[in-house]
Amino acid sequence: MIGYCGDNRQNNNTPAMEALMLGVSGLRGTVGGTLNPPVVMQLAAAFAAWLKETRKPRDGGRFRVVFGRDSRPSGQWVRDAAVSALAASGVEVVDLDVVTTPGVAMMVQHLGADAALIATASHNPIQWNGIKYLNADAVALPPAEAGRLGLMFSESRASYVRVEDVVPVVKNGDTHALHNKRVLDRVDVNGISTKRFKVVLDSVSGAGCVATATMLNKLGCQLVHLNATPDGKFPHEPEPTEKNLTGLAAEVKRQKASVGFAQDPDADRLAIVDENGVYIGEEYSLALCAQWIMSRKPGTVAVTNLSTSRMIDDIAARHGGRVVRTPVGEANVVAAMLKEGSIIGGEGNGGVIDPRIVPGRDSLVGMAYVLNLMAAGGKSISQIVAELPRYEIVKTKFDCKREDANRAVEAVKKEFANEKIDTQDGIRIDWDRSWVHARPSNTEPIMRIIAEAPDRAEADRRIEQVQVVVNRAL
């Protein structure tokens, strides 16, 4: 990630800590601080110039870019600023309005578009917004291409056109309906509907409100919808973690519901609360969906990153499948899934991927597959979870420049050379009962050390083993 500040600020009262962040995940900044209309236009203009320099239009004519946004109040002006720069560059823009991030990815494919821009700051609080970009394959740009775009942004590159080459913006309202159809085509709608599950859904007033409610109603669920207006006025911190979902947990218990689901603002992540109001964690979202797919299709290949729980390995072993691990990052997982022909994968942050529906994380897919798993087995979510292997994950991080983190990784690699190691992304060390993954972050000047073991004490011990080597190297 590249941090920009100073010249791009709206005024001199912006705190110095508010850097404008640009990396493989896109652009993010604080509204009225580091993120303002000129900055958004600068990014969109650079994106159009990048398209023209590195790509050819799919249809041989103009470049077509789809644009969607989450529900943040700042989203309208972010959209207007970005779309104006794209249109001024001669790009045909298809405006999807407020839609989920997986919905935008789906529409890139459906419309045969050349790329997409999404006004979102994912799970960040309301004071943040930004622009995420997808390529013609509907996935994030590879690091080298994102780096080139970042350089063009810093140079204020643009490729504006004369009036005869400007085309009107096109509106498209098909995203929610098409997304629902694609998901429902992959599950047993009648089987789920007969169970009449009571579901409590917390959409955190985000982009998932409309499409998700529609889907759950079509699945015959008795829906109790919390924070169901897509106005971006987040009622709590929007990341779907346990401390932020106490209201959802309490409502599940009060309603005597079958399950509780929580989304983040752009609806690509899913967290689950069981029928007892217990937060079971984002790691279980992928594990439960893998259990459903693999139970129906033994031998399935699942794909996930190096930092995701080994629950998925145990599930694959039960069903004659195998797991392919990739570096951290949604684009890496999707690329491996397409290569392997995999239909289930994702990341341990609640991101479930079925590329037949959307080539990216999708909370709607996750909910539908979990409900199908419950319906087919006739078991509660807590019973299903109890049958899965139980692990404890411990995650730590500390400030560390990338060059220092790389040096630390080399030291760890040397220290544990006799163990089973994977060096695709930092270093992961696997033992019979546990693993540790140490890696520099792709988006911040920090190093992460993550460990998983059957109990917290062993996970802590593994973290400490690696931390000692890292401290010595630094």
The SS3 call for residue 389 is coil
C-alpha to C-alpha distance for 152 and 8, rounded to whole angstroms: 15
CB 454 within 8 A of CB 392: yes
Phi first, then psi: give them for residue 117, nearest 5 degrees: -120, 140
On the CB side of 337, how many CA atoms lie within 13 Å of its CA?
27
Retrieve residue 74's tokens: 């700042």
C-alpha to C-alpha distance for 166 and 164, rounded to whole angstroms: 6
122, 203, 205, 258: which one is catalytic?
Answer: 122
Q: Which residues pair with 2 in a beta bridge?
A: 22
Retrieve residue 85's tokens: 């720069």
Please, which residues have CB within 8 angstroms of residue 164's CB and are 6 or more apart in sequence? none
**Which candidate, 146, 140, 161, 153, places its Cα nearest to that of 359?**
140
The answer to whether 89 is a known catalytic residue is no
Question: How many residues does this entry show for the chain?
Answer: 474
Burial grade of 379 (CB within 10 A; 0-12, 13-18, 19 or more): middle
- Torsion, Cα 286 291 293 295, to 10 degrees, reads 170
Retrieve residue 59's tokens: 């249809």
Burial grade of 112 (CB within 10 A; 0-12, 13-18, 19 or more): exposed
C-alpha to C-alpha distance for 275 and 269, rounded to whole angstroms: 20
The label of the residue with tokens 């979510």 reads: 381
C-alpha to C-alpha distance for 337 and 239, rounded to whole angstroms: 26
Phi first, then psi: give them for residue 139, nearest 5 degrees: -125, 165
The label of the residue with tokens 């390995």 reads: 313
Q: What is the DSSP string of 320-354?
A: T-EEEEE-SSHHHHHHHHHHHT-SEEEETTTEEEB
CB 328 within 8 A of CB 412: no
Retrieve residue 208's tokens: 């998932």
Active site positions, annotated: 122
